[in-house]
Structures are given as C-alpha cells and as structure tokens.
Amino acid sequence: MKTPLNVLGVIFACVVLLLLALSVTGFEPHDRTPGLWLKGDLVTAPVADWSFTDKIPEIKIQTQTPFLLPHSVTIWCAAYNGNLYVTSARGREWVEDMIRDPHVRLKIADKVYDRTVSIVDDPAEKAAVLQARLRKYPQWKGPPDSALTVFRVNPA
C-alpha cells in the first residue's frame, strides 16, 4: 500500500516542480501553439490611447482557465477611438475563459498589461471596430462578422 502512495507523491511533486519552473520561465505562446504565463515589464499606468498597437501585428493574451492555470495565445487586435479591442468567434477556449473571468494579461512587444475586458454590445461600436480590424488586417479570412464576439479592453 505504501508503494502506490509513494509513486503518487513523487508524481505530484514532479508536477508541482514543473509548474513552478514554467511559472518562472513563462512558457509563452509561439505562432499557433498556446502557452501559459506571459512575462515582461508590467505597465500599471492607464493607457489613454492604444493606437500605438496599429503598428504591432500580433499581441499575446493570457486568460485564466477553470483549472487554475493560465492559458495564453497570440491574437490580432484593433484600436478604435483610442480603445483596444480583440475579436474572436465563440467556442475558443480563451474566449470562453474571458466570458467567464474578464481579467486578462496582454503582452504587447515586451510590456505586459493586467486589464479586464468587456463584451461590446452596441452594434455601431462593434461595426466600427470590425472595420478598424479589417483596415489593419486586410488579409482577414475567418468567420463572418456576425459570428464574432468583440471585447473592449477596459482602462486600468
């Protein structure tokens, strides 16, 4: 009886050590491969105008899974009227995570921003954001706009 408990104890300790190592290194997403923690220089000041992201092709976003582990992916973003927006179709893990828990961490270049997001319900704002996204990414090929959820990054 002691042997199975010892084996389980060793496995548990290895998993804890692995998670600790990953939390230090970050294990960030790369291309289409998701990651865990985002690391960088933390920006705590409010951002009045996110239009600087127009020159940045992709950002990274970290959400919190129900399993107490972060989930991070590389995404596209768009700025509109000084605000920052992210869009995606429902059903993706990170989108469902944001709906459940709106606290996110964004990594833009080497800076990270802890923020919350909210769903854009106003049809005019949503349409304007989707137009801004199309101007930034004319190569966009994805679900129709009607199938997309638009999230506004809230000020700090």
CA atoms within 13 A on the CB side of 100: 14
Q: Give the mean pLDDT of 72-98.
A: 96
pLDDT grade for 141, boundaries at 50, 70 and 90: confident
Q: Please report the pLDDT score of residue 32 as a whole number.
A: 77
Q: Give the mean pLDDT of 122-134.
A: 97
Residue type, 39: K
CA 79 to chain centre: 16
Domains in the chain (CATH in brackets) are: 28-153 (2.30.110.10)
Lowest mean pLDDT among 3-17, 27-41, 63-77: 3-17
Among candidates 95, 89, 84, which has minimal Cα distance to 152?
84
Q: Please report the pLDDT score of residue 85 as a whole number.
A: 98
pTM for this model (two decimals): 0.85
